[in-house]
Amino acid sequence: MVNVVDTARLHVVALTDPDVKNERIFAFGETYNWDGILQAARRIKPEAEWPLEGDGREDLSEIVPRERAEEILKRNFGEGFRGLEETLREQLESY
Give the whole-number percent of the chain exceeding pLDDT 90.
Answer: 53
Half-sphere exposure of 15 (CA within 13 A, CB side): 6
Q: What is the DSSP letter of 59?
A: P
- What angle do helix axes 67-77 and 4-16 make, rounded to 10 degrees? 80
Query: Residue 33 — pLDDT band, cuts 50, 70, 90?
Result: confident
- What range defines the domain where residue 74 resides? 4-93
pLDDT at 6 over 90: yes
Q: How confident is the model at residue 12 (pLDDT cuts 50, 70, 90)?
A: very high
Q: Can you tell me the distance from the alpha carbon of 4 to that of 22, in angstroms, rounded to the nearest whole number?
A: 22
Q: Indicate whether 62 pLDDT > 80.
A: no
Where are the extended beta strands (E) located within the chain? none
User: Does the model's pTM come out above 0.85?
Assistant: no
pLDDT of residue 57: 67
